[in-house]
Structure 1
Amino acid sequence: MYGYIRFYKAQLSAPDYERYKSVYCSLCHALADNFGQLPRFMLSYDLTFMVLLAEALTVFPQAGDALWQPERCLEHFGKKTAVAHHWSFLDYAANISVLLAEQKLLDDQTDKEHLLRTFGVKRLFQGTFRQAANNYPEIAAEIKAGMLNFNRLESLYRHNYKNIESLLPAGVQAACAEQIKQVLAPLLSCCPAAYNCTLAFAAVIGKIFRCLPLLPLQVPPTDRVELTTAVKKQLLSPCLEVIGIYLGAWIYLIDALDDLSDDLRHQQYNILLLSEKGNLIRQNYERKLLRLQQLPLLQRRQKHPAGKTLYRDKSQEELTEPQKQIADLLHTAQTILHNLQALLDQSLILLPWQRDAALIAAIIQEGLPTTLLRCNFKQRYQFDLLQLASTPSIDLPS
């Protein structure tokens, strides 16, 4: 995954931070228990949130606190952290981490990015990937089929997006909730490729969340527990799928938005630029990108005296036409991300929390907007430098 569903320490209380760290370390130990030490590098914040979600919805015995045992970790200089082992959703998340890492390598191989490193890592973890697929064959097959469809969509749009009207399979359309289609509707007018690819990627994450096991422990066979088990299997799986779809759409769009300025500068692929407006943005900024690369970093800093705000909101009258196009694209993406976060917040409120509801709410209500704010700041920084590079008063070296 991409690591965008994350926490910020300043936004959490001390007990919530310790709880999150315990879940994070538990997933790290689950990777080691299932696959050895090297696959620990596949740990991500996104799947830690999935484990935290499953743990918060799981009915534990009364002695649930005894399941967390303090253990030392070399990464934290031998400091003890409460860790749990061999829960079904921990093992599930560890295997999903490996399966998604394999898909990431295949995607890099298709894009011809870091080919030597990709080939080496793929050979090194070939047995690990095969073991994860054997452990969960059904979800592994669904992830593989979903990512193949997603990669096919991206490849077709990348080469000839104009002649593609609707390539999204009917199964993906049926799996995604109507709310997310309404939220993503602005993409249909400015970038249809982003709409279809976002739904395709979100459907894969939705399937992963739908298969999330919620009862990893043997509990006393009372009528109440049996009823709870039946209710969770019948009702919570579709709810978790919808939450996974919202999260998948948010992750895909924030990743595209986060890479937008870098992809513009290096003239690389970005789903948000696969449109008529995107092509126009590329053409208008091609010369300025070249000037920016020639502009020394020291000279950039000297043009912004101390105390001057580097970024300020400009009215539409102050913007040039290329700047308006960039502003419209950023505004559309950010509005969609805000709406997706609102949908996530509304969906999570309805779940039967057993614990950690405040921690999960903090990640969604405060963590996601902070990530978006940091991403927005990065885009403003890059585009402000583009504007600086096009200023006639700057004498660039020949």
Structure 2
Amino acid sequence: MDLFGYIKVDSANLLGKEYEAYKGIYCTLCKQLGKEYSVFARFILSYDCTFYAMLGLDLCQEPPCFKEGRCRFNPFKKCHYADTKTKAFSLAAALSVISAYYKLKDNLLDSPWYKRIIYRLVQPFFASWRKKAAKKYPEIDHSVSKMMEEQLKAEKDPDCVLDRAAQPTADMLGEMCALLTEEIPLRDNLDQNTTKRVFQTLGYYMGRWIYLIDAADDYEKDKKHHNFNPFLLPNTDDSVENIRGNLNHALSEALLSYGLYEKGRYDSIINNVLCVSCVNIQNKILSGFQTDITEA
């Protein structure tokens, strides 16, 4: 299980300056991937890791300084790039390449033969990026690899239940958010221990929500092809009410955790993601379901 691109802003509900700040973080992470790993690593840029970088920047005492530049892939496009003195971008870039590598390994196990050929061709590049990132941040590599191992065990367990299936992704993202508070010098008004607990809980429930929203999104496909899906497990209520309830619980717990955090410069954007974008994405996915999925 990897990150999926569900954690993104709802641009229609952001002020212009807020959207420009978000785009600046997105473009800077893209640049960081190219700088630390390879120009080709830019293709694994994700909204999830952009949000992760923004959480890291929100912890910092000094705001990043943005400068105007040109996009590497589109020289006619102007972008705003932040300085990368903070570790937020480096951590987000490492999480990007490490999670992409382990996702590629997972795809090699259960993809059609013609897709496996493509995956094997690009595997050396992903392995090289992962090796470099793991040397710099071994705790990220350990956390993501452990998640993949636990996820595989859960999916092979005939007695697996929904909570166990969602646990590996939740644990991993909780550990990654806690790592931000350890690697980045915090604002003067932030207590180290309290902030770490808050971020770990926030990451845990965001990880749970990501896993479950992806499962809801793939429900029909997984049912048709007899793939693993936590909502298709034996003795699991797969009604839309139960799916919505599980998603609402994870998202509300994430919001409660974030509510305990001493807000920083990106509070309005983070709230946009948690309170607007995630809710809209969830409603859109669930709107395609009948009242009871089992009867659809």
State whether TM-score is above 0.5.
Answer: yes
| 2:213–2:282 contact (8 Å) kept in structure 1 | yes
Aligned equivalents of 2:171, 2:92: Cα separation in 1: 17
Gaps of 5+ in 1: 165-191, 220-224, 278-324, 388-398
Aligned equivalents of 1:267, 1:151: Cα separation in 2: 16
- Structure number with bigger Rg: 1
Gaps of 5+ in 2: none
Evaluate the alpha carbon distance shift between residue 117 and residue 380 of structure 1 in structure 2; reply closer, same or farther with a 3 A threshold: farther
| 2:203–2:254 contact (8 Å) kept in structure 1 | no
Counterpart code for 1:51? A
Aligned equivalents of 1:249, 1:44: Cα separation in 2: 18
Aligned equivalents of 1:252, 1:342: Cα separation in 2: 15
Which residue is equivalent to 1:245? 204
Which residue is equivalent to 1:83? 81
* Pairs within 5 Å for 1:54-203: 54-60=56-62, 64=63, 67-75=65-73, 78-86=76-84, 87-113=86-112, 114-154=115-155, 156-157=156-157, 161=158, 164=159, 193-203=161-171
Aligned equivalents of 1:216, 1:271: Cα separation in 2: 35
* CA apart distance, 1:123: 2.2
Which residue is equivalent to 1:287? none
| 1:209–1:241 contact (8 Å) kept in structure 2 | yes
Which residue is equivalent to 1:267? 226
* CA apart distance, 1:354: 2.4
Aligned equivalents of 2:108, 2:197: Cα separation in 1: 33
Counterpart code for 1:134? K
Deviations 1:80-123 (A, max 9, x none): 22211332110011001111111111221232453222222212
Which residue is equivalent to 2:253? 343
Name which of 215, 218, 221 aligns with 1:256.
Answer: 215
Aligned equivalents of 1:236, 1:122: Cα separation in 2: 37
| 1:202–1:248 contact (8 Å) kept in structure 2 | yes
4+ aligned runs moved over 4 Å, structure 1 = 74-77, 213-217
| 1:30–1:85 contact (8 Å) kept in structure 2 | no
Structure 2 SS opposite 1:20: helix
Aligned equivalents of 1:136, 1:203: Cα separation in 2: 17
Aligned equivalents of 1:71, 1:214: Cα separation in 2: 31
Counterpart code for 1:129? R
Aligned equivalents of 1:216, 1:267: Cα separation in 2: 44
TM-score (ref. length: structure 2): 0.89
| 2:198–2:260 contact (8 Å) kept in structure 1 | no
Q: Which deviates the most, 252-261 or 342-351?
A: 342-351
Counterpart code for 1:247? M
Aligned equivalents of 2:48, 2:210: Cα separation in 1: 9
Aligned equivalents of 2:182, 2:25: Cα separation in 1: 15
Structure 2 SS opposite 1:102: helix
| 2:166–2:212 contact (8 Å) kept in structure 1 | yes
Aligned equivalents of 2:68, 2:173: Cα separation in 1: 32
Evaluate the alpha carbon distance shift between residue 259 and residue 134 of structure 1 in structure 2; reply closer, same or farther with a 3 A threshold: same
Aligned equivalents of 2:150, 2:287: Cα separation in 1: 33
RMSD: 2.5
Aligned equivalents of 2:182, 2:193: Cα separation in 1: 12
Which residue is equivalent to 1:364? 274
Aligned equivalents of 1:263, 1:329: Cα separation in 2: 16
Alignment: residue pair count: 290
Which residue is equivalent to 2:283? 373
| 2:199–2:257 contact (8 Å) kept in structure 1 | no
TM-score (ref. length: structure 1): 0.67
Indicate yes or no: 2:23 matched with 1:21: yes
Percentage of identical aligned residues: 26
Structure 2 SS opposite 1:71: strand
Aligned equivalents of 1:25, 1:380: Cα separation in 2: 39
Name which of 253, 264, 277 aligns with 1:354.
Answer: 264
Counterpart code for 1:144? S
Aligned equivalents of 1:89, 1:349: Cα separation in 2: 22
Aligned equivalents of 2:79, 2:290: Cα separation in 1: 39
* CA apart distance, 1:236: 1.4
| 1:206–1:244 contact (8 Å) kept in structure 2 | yes
Counterpart code for 2:212? L
* CA apart distance, 1:264: 2.1
Deviations 1:180-217 (A, max 9, x none): xxxxxxxxxxxx52210112221111111111157757
Aligned equivalents of 2:143, 2:249: Cα separation in 1: 28
Structure 2 SS opposite 1:125: helix
| 2:53–2:88 contact (8 Å) kept in structure 1 | yes
